[in-house]
Amino acid sequence: MHLSLPLLLSVALFGIGVYGLLVRRNAILVLMSVELMLNGVNVSLVAFDVFWAEALRAGQSLAIFVITIAAAEIGLGLAILLLLYRMRGSIAVDEATDLREDPA
Amino acid sequence: MSDQSLLSPTGVDLVFALLALVAVASALMVVSTTQIVHAALWLVVSLGAVAGCYLVLTAEFVAWMQVLIYLGAVVVLLMFGMMLTRAPIGPSDDLTGTNRLVALFAAVALTAVLGVLVVDAFGSTMIDVSGEPSSASVMGEALFRHWVLPFEALSVLLLSALVGAIALSKSDEEA
Amino acid sequence: MTSNWLLPALLVVPLLASVILLVAGRRAESWATWFGVGVQSVGLVLMLGVLAEYKRNMSGSMQLVVDAEWVPELLVHFRLGVDGISLPLIALTSLLGWCAAVYTVRRVPEPGRARALVGLLLLLQVGLLGTFMALDLILFFLFFEVVLAPMWFLIAFWGSGERRRAANTFILYTVLGSVVMLVGFLIVIVKTGSADMVALANGLGEQMSGNAQLAAALLILGGLAVKTPMWPFHTWLPDAHTAAPTVGSVLLAGVLLKMGTYGMVRIVVPTLPDAMVQIAPYLAAFAVIGILYGALASYGQQDLKRVIAFSSVGHMGFVLLGISTLSVVGINAALFGNIAHGIITGLLFFVVGGIKQRTGTTAFASLPRGLYASAPRLGFLLGFAAVASLGMPGLAGFWGEFLSLVGAYHPAVPEHLFYRVMLVLAAVGMVLAAAYFLRVLRRVGQGAASQATMDDVAADEWLSWTPLIALTVVLGLAPVLVFQVTDPAVRMVVESVAGALP
Amino acid sequence: MTIQSIDLMVLAPTIVVALGALVALIAELVTRRGQVAVGVGLVTLAFAVPFALAASGEQTLCGAVDADCAYVVAPLSVALQLIVLVSTAIVLLMASSDIAARRVPGGEFVFLILCSVSGAVLVPATNDLVTLIVALEVVSLPTFALVALRRGEPRAAEAALKAFIFSIASVAVSLYGIALLYGTTGAVSFNELAASTQASGPSPLATAGMVMLLAVVAFKIAAIPFHAWAPDTYQGATVPVAAYLSVVSKAAGFSALLLITWTFSAWSQVWAPVVAVLAGVTMLGGNLLALRQRLAVRLLAWSSIAQAGYILVPLAAVAGRLEWGPGVTNAVVGYLVAYAAMNLGAFAVVAVVARRTGAVDWADYRGLARRSPGLAVALALFLASLAGLPPGLIGLLVKVRVLIVPVGSGVWWLAAVMAVATVIGLAYYLAWAAQLFRQPDSEARPSVAEPETGSWTSIVAVAICLALTVTFSIAPSLALGLVDRL
Amino acid sequence: MTAPLVMVVLPAVAAVVGLLLGGMSRAAAATIAVAGPLAALVVAALLAAEQPWDAPIVDAGFHGVLQPFPAATVVDGLAVSVALMVCFVATLVQIYSIGYMKDEPRYSSYAAFISLFTAAMLAVVVAGDLLFLVVGWEVMGLCSYLLIGQNWEQHEARRAAVKAFLVTKVGDIGFIVGVVVLIGTTGTTLIPNAVQAASSDSTVATVASGLILLGVLGKSAQFPLHAWLPDAMAGPSPVSALIHAATMVAAGVYVVARLYPMFLASPEVLTAMAVIACITMLGAAVIALVQSDMKRVLAWSTVSQLAYMVAALAVGSRDAAVFHLLSHAFFKALLFLAAGAVIHAVGSSALRDTGGLRQSMPVTFMTMSIGLLALVGVFPLSGFFSKESVLVAAEHAAEGDEVVAPWVGWLVLVVAVVTIAVTAAYALRLWMLTWVGPRRGEARPIHETPPVMYVPLVLLAVPTLLFGFTALDVGALPTWIQANATQPLATPGALTPGLLTIALSVTALLVGVGVGLRGRWSSGIGDGRSFLARGLGVDAAYDWLAVRPLLVLVRWVTEFDSGVIQRTVSGVGVGTVASGRQLQRTQRGDVQRYVSAALTALIVAVVITLVAVAT
């Protein structure tokens, strides 16, 4: 099959993830967008892995690691945003601006 | 592998393209829907489609991992997160911030640049997906023969994420 | 040689002393100033030791050399030495340091904190002496920088008026200069693989390509020009002087400025002769602009300290003019001018500081008239220092300026006609210098005394000022005391330029 | 299925640290005393140091045969490991007071920090992109928890969230870069990649991948424009955690950058200009933004951004006539060593002062020389070192060492930018130092808290940093020649 | 130490001692003050008695510029004769000052400055080295500043002092540069060697002597740098006597005489000197005619008389110039001291306050009359002979016997003769307004001055009366002056009067006296504000040509400094901080914007790198 197909899928997922990351206000939606980005990466990795088909299976191995990393990140991320929710009563990312420059 | 033009699709191509279309469309829904819960559902669809793609690409093990971890764990976690933060069930207008133009620009630019580059580099490259799927045993061998170190490091990562999450969730009660 | 410990000792003694003051805690406040005098006296004795060990007949070569590898990664050696070019400046530094210490005993400026003040003065001393002793480019740069922080503290904490602003301008401007200089140094080091100033001067530097020499020379000169200060890089000086406490001004004008011109003679001229020959006429032009500009600007100032500060711009212009001739006479004149300006302007700032202490101001608008009447001795010293500063023959200020002119008549570079025009303009500057100093005397010294009497010069002031007064006269009558030391070394420097001349 | 034969001794530093993390967690659970965890942490780090030093020459995890082994130690990596281990020990000393005061849970804190360290010790010895990116994640992830672990500070979560989001975004970008590089070369191990890059020039796709790979590094070292999280996060975190982020986390970032640039040294035309621009923008921007800071930690945050810019300079200079080599790495490592000592010192003083008086604002430092002369003098020295002004000689010398690289390779504009940036930097360091020695306000605010138990450990941290800074100033070769000595 | 050096050092020591022991008793100060010049006088006399001397140059052995103090001295007739005169006048001035400055609180510094002044003048006189010469030259300028400004409580004195210093300093630009040129081209600082070398090259001679002439114009108060001298009368009268008769103004003429071979090598410079001298000579005399102040009359007279000397130098007769210098020193010192006595008695130097003092101050009257007669040039007083020698020299030049063109000789001759008439007129006017007629001014008892003041007058009257006769013994004075000279100049005998010149001068004198007797002088005293009285507007010219442009420059520079240079520097600082503030606006706390910026930058970096790598 065409290598470019999975690659284009990967690019599309990554791009969509970037958009969501930058635009979604709810922190959980942001986390979801990140998952999309990582999936984009993984599609590439798997496709290239198939393409090169080398012995170490580096692409697929990394894809598995990325999935694991994503899980860990989501876990911790949720903990952080729950904390945020406890502190602020909201998980709107763009409202968490207590820490900022104060150009007087 | 023989060089073939992008415009002469094979059967596998069509299957993959369909799955990809589903994945992309539902991904778009994830980032644009006005209901948080829907977003989670669309995410499930998208990730499932991607898992299908992996299967087409003969990456069997990765596909199972995708289903297990993502659909089984991550999405569930996210659902819990929604519940705990009392996410509204109905549609809400304020899910998208004011950053839309910049975000759109960044996303489109990134997609365009990478898309052009990818097509430029591999536009006519074919891959062979008729071979033996890389099953759990294949991947396990690769992982434990060569990727022990990152694997072990990941265990530290998971553990620390776990402990961190626990510590954070109890941190205020003790204070 | 057995007396090689002298130079390191000159650095270590004040350094240790400042550390002692640092750790001594508040109980040191009571004895800090006396301690300072003691340490500076030890320094003076060590200095006499250096003078005794110094072989005048070998003035052209480095003496009392100390050399130890320090940071091999940067080719830095802890390399010290003294020759005819540096000896007078080292002596001047020791002397002015002593004078400042004596002056401080009874006159700690507001807000007190004698311990910190003395400690900083001693640290300053380390940097100043080190700069004049260093024989390694990086080491030179380090000592060059050591001076900054103490001086900044002096101005920012013991100064008056807009002291913070002035201190910040001082340090930021001069640091910019020294960073630029550092880049020049690094070019030299990278291109030659050596940071040894002696080796570089003895031909290693000339091996650099023309463009590299030019770039390095421009950068180094640029950095040193800020310190000198050369017009138009002088802006930090008047503010710093106006704000600085008396001892700060004395050391600033007396020694700090000399680091710039010293660096030119020590490093740029012998190491980068080809470039120097190209740059020299431009340097001369800047020097002469500085002379005229300094004089005119001095005339327009409304504050005694600013007048003297701008006069320094003019005087250093003469020094630069001397250097720019690249001739034996000119460079000797420059070195002499350095010393003379250090002594005389040091004295001027002491006296002006005395006036400020008594009247609380240095602004013409509020200064009482008739100092000659209200405090005749102080008035006399003001007149004496002013007259010496305006280049009266028979006093030290004259020789540097006059011989710069002589040097400019026969520069080592080919642009003779240009230099002669510069010569005439510089001579005009000498007259203008007379004009603004007479204005000062007329405004401050003369006139019916608006304040009946004022405390005249006190004993401790006499003690700290007398060496300067005496040297002003002695060097005015016997400039050879300096020239016999500088001349052989200058000849070595000029020799290295000779090959670069077309 | 044969498990890869591994030489565990080579991996010992990482293993020791990871095990130590568990021990610390358990010890706290058992004893219910956070200080015990700190003690375990310190002992762990002390154990790890000789293991790290034991590696002589170049060793791999898999024995000498396998050049593609995932873990390779060389003097350069040992030096970086040492920086990480010693710095963490100092951070633990600083944090000990927080733990004693129950501001943070001791066991979890030490566990998380040691987990992160195990990654940081791993990073400089990794030998492929997969392990590298995983190790970097191991460094990062626990730190977000550490940032959020600050009881009684409502903004801690916000601080952690910012770092977290920034981190996952940049990691995703870098992962994509890795995917692209893998796709174009078919390799992830550094040796193969190096061979492949030497064989052919960068294709457009590889170029894009290369640049994207740098994102995670830029995030870790907080280089502009990947810096914006740093000031906010530092401010929200406890001071020791901020110190950890600014030194250890950065050291890991630079370790990664060194490995990446070494691997792709044949493609320096791709990354060197990027790094150069990064360096220039970071130096200038960091210093400019620091100019008007009045909160101690925030100022140090911007300062450490600027400092990262300086450390980038030698690598950036590879854009000119210079090969990647010891001339570059020694400058980077030398600066990192000095930076660790002086920056941790500054943070340590801030920690002590904040704990004693609750002071976070600049104005609270006014008259510190009166109240605690020792602290004031130490802070002044650290600031002078950061500024590169004697008596902070080591700070000056490493700047010289760094500056000499672009001068030697003819990247003039970078040298010029560094010169200007240094001058701007001087302004705020000095302004802060001036505060210390000013007369205290007549209406000085009453000190919020009296000296607490356990704050002596922070003082020890200050003392260690002071001793290191002074030692380095007297014998700069210890820092500048560290790699050559290993 | 050599005798000439001792001569310089003795008064200098007196000055230093006087300054250091400022608080000592008045008597001690006076003793030291008189002792200095007196000792120098003794040394000078001993030196004179030693003639013939061994070597013309007493050399310290150094010729380069980097020498120990450049103390080479010359001992020749020229130096010794002038030195004798200087010491003599200075001693008398010091003695006179004891009385004149009786009520002066700052007497000791005053006396010390006079001693220093004497030392400086002696340094100029005996200097065998250009640098030594410069030192004496400049210190003298300083002392004149200090002494003119002795009464610095008064605005006039302050102004005059600064003016004297600055105007002469302007001339000194030329002087210094000239010396630099001389040293630079000849490579030596020894005067005889340098002069010899320079005179062999007419370009160098012209440049160097032209430049040095500028200094001479300043010091000797020649047009256009003369305007300081009349104002300098703000100083005490003894100071005027010293500065404006015997020392400072003479120094200019003396230096030309010292460097004369070089000047002779440049007819252009001599011609310029002649023209300047003629303008100055007649102009100053005419101005003297309308002055309302006794001392100002004498001051302008000094300017005019100095022009005679410069004219003599211009027409090739150094000896005539020196002759007139010496005789003028005596009678002008006498006149100033006498005027001082009158002021002392009357309390004012304005001619409107004098008149009819003949009976009350007989000694002063007699001596001042002798001085005025000498000034006018009445036989057989010294002024007659010395002025005749100048006329004779001009006549020689007119006949074409000298290096300058004949017209120069004619010019000098004619102007000098005319000036004699004017001189006679203003001298007569001064005499009549002071001594004859009714007493004007406030009525107060007038007494003769104490002996300490009138004895010096008498002592000065002696050489005024008799010095001229040295010219009668054909060749005696020229021989003396030229004794031991390194470069012998004119033929002896030129100083004796000639028939033609006697006829001309006597005629002119009679005309002048006639005019003087017919004038109704007492009516016009006191306005002193006519164009003439203000010195032909030279002050205004200074003002417009030098002072105002300079002040404008000062303003420009000051404004440029604060407005451009300083503002640039502080602008950079302010701009830096401001840009920091602008950058702070990018840090609003919204992490999504942070990441947006980072990713956008990343995309830009990717694109740029792609383009850069591709090209």
Distances (CA, A) of D407 to D199, D261, D476: 30, 20, 21
* Helix, strand, coil abundance in chain C, percent, nearest 5: 80, 5, 20
**Residue D442: its pLDDT value, please?**
59
The class level of CATH for B11-134 reads mainly alpha
Quick check: B149 and D108 CB within 8 A?
Answer: no
For helices D106-122 and D8-31, what crossing angle results, to 10°?
Answer: 170
Paired tokens of C262: 């010293």
The answer for residues whose C-beta is within 8 angstroms of residue C322's C-beta and 6 or more apart is: C330, C331, C332, C333, C334, C337, C400, C403, C404, C407, C408
* Confidence category of residue E388, pLDDT binned at 50, 70, 90: confident
**Residue D446: its pLDDT value, please?**
47
Quick check: A94 and B98 CB within 8 A?
Answer: yes
User: Residue A100 falls within a domain, yes or no?
Assistant: no
Quick check: B144 and D149 CB within 8 A?
Answer: no
Q: What is the ipTM of this complex?
A: 0.92
User: Residue E428 falls within a domain, yes or no?
Assistant: yes
CB C155, CB C163: distance < 8 Å: yes
* Residue in the block written with tokens 């006329």: E391
Q: Is C392 on the interface with E (CB under 8 A)?
A: yes
Paired tokens of D474: 């007297």
Paired tokens of D432: 């802060």
* Confidence category of residue B11, pLDDT binned at 50, 70, 90: confident
Mean pLDDT per segment of 10 residues, for chain A of length 104 residues?
Answer: 91 95 92 94 94 87 93 92 88 87 74
Measured in whole angstroms, how far is the alpha carbon of residue D240 from the centre of its chain? 13
Task: Return the bridge partners of E73, or none.
Answer: E58, E127
d(CA D378, CA D357): 18
Integer Rg of chain E from CA: 30
d(CA D36, CA C167): 49
Quick check: C480 and E69 CB within 8 A?
Answer: yes
Q: Is the pLDDT of residue E453 over 80?
A: no
- Which helix (H) or strand (E) segment is D73 a member of? strand D72-73
Q: Is D202 on the interface with E (CB under 8 A)?
A: yes
User: Residue D329 falls within a domain, yes or no?
Assistant: yes
Task: Return the bridge partners of C78, or none.
Answer: C68
Mean pLDDT check: name the lowest of D381-395, D446-460, E358-372, E453-467: D446-460
Residue that finishes a domain, picked among E505, E533, E561: E533
* Confidence category of residue E58, pLDDT binned at 50, 70, 90: low
**Residue A48: its pLDDT value, please?**
93
**Residue E63: its pLDDT value, please?**
46
Q: Looking at beta carbons, which residues of chain E come within 8 Å of D219? A: 598
The answer for residues whose C-beta is within 8 angstroms of residue A58's C-beta and 6 or more apart is: A49, D128, D130, D182, D187, D188
Q: B with D: how many residue pairs have Cβ under 8 Å apart?
A: 115
User: Residue D465 falls within a domain, yes or no?
Assistant: yes
pLDDT by residue for chain C (502 residues), tens only, comes to 467 888 999 999 999 999 999 888 888 888 888 999 999 999 999 999 998 888 887 877 888 889 998 988 888 999 999 988 999 999 999 999 999 999 998 888 878 888 889 999 999 999 999 999 999 999 999 999 999 999 999 999 998 888 888 999 999 999 999 999 999 999 999 999 889 999 998 888 888 888 889 999 999 999 999 998 898 898 899 989 989 999 999 999 889 999 999 999 999 999 999 899 999 999 999 999 999 999 999 988 888 889 999 999 999 999 999 999 998 889 999 999 999 999 999 999 999 998 888 888 888 888 888 788 788 888 889 989 998 998 888 888 888 898 899 889 888 888 888 999 999 999 988 888 888 888 888 888 777 776 667 788 888 888 989 999 999 988 888 888 888 888 888 988 888 888 777 6
The candidate with the shortest Cα–Cα distance to D118, out of A77, A67, A68, B157, is B157
**Residue E79: its pLDDT value, please?**
82
d(CA E579, CA D73): 45
Give the neighbours of chain B: at least 3 Cβ pairs within 8 Å. A, D, E
Measured in whole angstroms, how far is the alpha carbon of residue D292 from the centre of its chain? 24
User: Residue D285 falls within a domain, yes or no?
Assistant: yes
Tens-place pLDDT, residues C432-447: 888 888 888 888 877 7
* Residue in the block written with tokens 């640091």: C175
Q: Is the pLDDT of residue E540 over 50?
A: yes
CB E115, CB E11: distance < 8 Å: yes
State whether E526 and E546 are in the same domain: no
Quick check: C434 and E152 CB within 8 A?
Answer: no
For helices C114-133 and C137-146, what crossing angle results, to 10°?
Answer: 160
**Residue B175: its pLDDT value, please?**
41
d(CA D139, CA E572): 41
A90: number of Cβ within 10 Å: 14
Paired tokens of B8: 């002469």
Integer Rg of chain A from CA: 17
Mean pLDDT check: name the lowest of B3-7, D174-178, D431-435, E65-69: B3-7
Q: How many domains does chain A have?
A: 1
With CA atoms as reference, the chain B residue closest to A8 would be B115
The answer for residues whose C-beta is within 8 angstroms of residue C415's C-beta and 6 or more apart is: C281
Handedness of CA C160, C164, C169, C171 (dihedral sign): positive
3-state secondary structure of E350: strand
User: Residue A98 falls within a domain, yes or no?
Assistant: no
CATH of the domain at A73: 1.10.287.3510
Summary mean pLDDT of chain A: 91
The domain segmentation of chain B, as residue ranges, is 11-134, 138-175
Distances (CA, A) of D151 to D119, D163, E54: 26, 18, 104
Mean of the pLDDT values across residues E67-73?
68
Measured in whole angstroms, how far is the alpha carbon of residue E80 from the centre of its chain? 20
Tens-place pLDDT, residues B77-106: 888 888 888 878 778 877 888 888 999 999
The candidate with the shortest Cα–Cα distance to C419, out of C429, C428, C410, is C410
Mutate to test the interface with D, among E572, E588, E593, E594 (most CBs of D within 10 A): E594
Q: Is A83 on the interface with D (CB under 8 A)?
A: yes
Paired tokens of B92: 């809400």
State whether E492 and E564 are in the same domain: no
The answer to whether the peptide bond before residue E224 is cis (omega within 30 degrees of 0) is yes
User: Residue E447 falls within a domain, yes or no?
Assistant: yes
User: Residue D234 falls within a domain, yes or no?
Assistant: no
Task: Return the bridge partners of C63, or none.
Answer: C82
* Residue in the block written with tokens 């003779």: C416
User: Residue E107 falls within a domain, yes or no?
Assistant: no
CB E452, CB E95: distance < 8 Å: yes
The dihedral formed by the CA atoms of C110, C113, C118 and C124, expressed in degrees to the nearest 10? -70
Quick check: B153 and D122 CB within 8 A?
Answer: yes
Measured in whole angstroms, how far is the alpha carbon of residue D47 from the centre of its chain? 21
* Residue in the block written with tokens 């033609």: E500
C56: number of Cβ within 10 Å: 12
User: Residue A70 falls within a domain, yes or no?
Assistant: yes
d(CA D422, CA D424): 5
d(CA E18, CA E15): 5
**Residue E478: its pLDDT value, please?**
66
d(CA C459, CA E551): 41
Residue D191 CB-half CA count within 13 A = 10
Neighbour-count burial for D13-35, b at 16+ CB within 10 Å, e otherwise: bbbbbbebbbbbbebbeeeeebb
What percent of chain E is predicted at pLDDT more than 90? 4
State whether E377 and E287 are in the same domain: yes
User: In degrees, to the nearest 5, what angle opens at C-alpha A24 toward C-alphas A21 and A27?
Assistant: 85
User: Residue D446 falls within a domain, yes or no?
Assistant: yes
Give the residue numbers spanning the domain of E274.
266-533
No. of H helices and E strands in chain A?
3, 0
Q: How many domains does chain E have?
A: 2
Give the residue numbers spanning the domain of D467.
268-486
CA-based end-to-end distance of chain D:
38
Q: How many domains does chain D have?
A: 1
Mean of the pLDDT values across residues E345-358?
73
Mutate to test the interface with B, among D5, D65, D205 (most CBs of B within 10 A): D205
Give the residue numbers spanning the domain of A13.
4-93
Say if residue C23 is exposed, middle or buried (CB neighbours under 10 Å; 0-12, 13-18, 19+).
Answer: exposed
Handedness of CA B96, B97, B98, B101 (dihedral sign): negative
Tens-place pLDDT, residues C393-449: 888 888 889 889 988 988 888 888 899 999 999 998 888 888 888 888 888 877 777
Mutate to test the interface with B, among D33, D108, D175 (most CBs of B within 10 A): D108
User: Residue E270 falls within a domain, yes or no?
Assistant: yes
d(CA A49, CA A45): 6
Residue C327 carries which DSSP code? S
User: Residue E490 falls within a domain, yes or no?
Assistant: yes
pLDDT by residue for chain D (486 residues), tens only, comes to 344 556 677 888 899 999 999 999 999 889 888 889 999 999 999 999 998 888 766 777 765 555 567 788 888 999 999 999 999 999 999 998 888 888 888 899 999 999 999 999 999 999 899 999 999 999 999 999 999 988 878 889 999 999 999 999 999 999 999 999 999 999 999 989 999 998 988 999 999 999 999 999 999 999 989 999 999 999 999 999 999 999 999 999 999 999 999 999 899 889 999 999 999 999 999 999 999 888 999 999 999 999 999 999 999 888 767 777 888 899 999 999 999 999 999 999 998 888 777 667 877 888 888 888 889 999 999 999 999 998 889 999 999 999 999 998 888 999 999 999 999 999 999 999 988 888 876 555 545 444 545 578 889 999 999 999 999 999 999 999 888 887
Residue E488 carries which DSSP code? -
Let me know if chains A and C touch, i.e. at least 3 Cβ pairs under 8 angstroms.
Answer: no
Quick check: B113 and E603 CB within 8 A?
Answer: yes
Quick check: E603 and B103 CB within 8 A?
Answer: no
d(CA E536, CA C122): 62
